[in-house]
Amino acid sequence: MARRVLVTGGAGFIGSNIVAELAARGGFEIAVCDRLRAVDGGKWRNLAKHAIDDFIAPEDLSAWLGGRGRDVAIVIHMGAISSTMEADADKIVHINFSLSRDLHDWCAASGRRFIYASSAATYGAGEHGFDDRSDLDFLTALRPLNAYGWSKALFDILVARRAAAAAAPPQSVGLKFFNVYGPNEGHKGAMRSMAAQMWPGVAAGEAVRLFKSCREPWGHGAQERDFVDVRDAAAIALWFVDHADVSGLFNVGSGEARSFNDLARAVFTAAGRPARIDYIDMPEAIRETYQYHTRAPMDRLRAAGYAAPLATIDEGVADYVRRYLSREDPYR
């Protein structure tokens, strides 16, 4: 019998890639909760290649859970306001914390498994490192740099407190996504990955513009991020679907810190063009809080049993450009 899986945010970037993985594997009834908005915005196209069994508007989710949702075995909660440019903090907290809390509590009360999107933004400037610990002392010491990161950190703390009080779902997994890139992100606009933002200019033969460094020992464009292919991120989420006995917080990255220079060169190489990079001044408004290094230690995930290789940006970006960004139909 097929397992029914609810994917919130299932038409979004990471969520739609999880839906693609579920559909490719078979054996699942897939219900998607999301808001598609404008027809020309592209989100509906993120789902168009895959059969789903139900679609729920966010405002109808509570009623749906009390009806057809009684058959749900696993909730994969990717729905969130992920824009760091969102100006309404009340909206961010309501959606990223309060609604997530309600869904977590429903899973705990009804014995359903719960896999949710946390974020590397919870680590703030990285002054406490990037280890995916779930003890309360560590989680409460983190100082995110924006309201989005804070809302995600707040929910991580709530989940840890619920677990300590034996009020958790039978499986509870938080996935701390780092800098994700890959197919189905076109609708994100200014919040697309840097690889996607670079591509149109590179394809047109233009130079990529990167920030100059304002801090030693980093050179211009040498600021580092852990760039992770969304297809690896989705595969990790599905690994937890297959391993109901594993719970906790886990980093989702490549395990490598690579520079923006490296990323730009990977896009140029995939396009078959020589690299052209110009360096521009970093806006003063972000200089004090700009991160110069992130890297996702993947030890806990590996120790839990995840053994699949993780794409480097050279591998992942090459495939992303050739199979998606350069095509007329860029959707997975």
Three-state secondary structure call for residue 54: strand
Nearest Cα to 265, choosing from 180, 311, 208? 208
Reading the block at residue 54, the tokens are 């139900």
Query: Of 148, 181, 320, 324, which residue is the catalytic one?
Result: 148
Nearest Cα to 179, choosing from 271, 259, 74? 259
**Is residue 148 annotated as part of the catalytic site, yes or no?**
yes
Write out the H or E segment, with its range, that includes residue 89: helix 89-93
Q: Please, which contacts does 219-222 make with residues 24 or more away whose CB atoms are closer than 8 Å?
A: 220/279, 221/259, 221/260, 221/261, 221/264, 221/277, 221/279, 222/259, 222/260, 222/261
How many angstroms separate the CA atoms of 191 and 12, rounded?
12
289: which residues sit within 8 A by CB, 6+ positions away?
125, 145
In whole angstroms, how far apart are CA 48 and each of 17, 23, 92, 327, 330?
12, 12, 28, 16, 12
Residues belonging to the active site: 148, 188
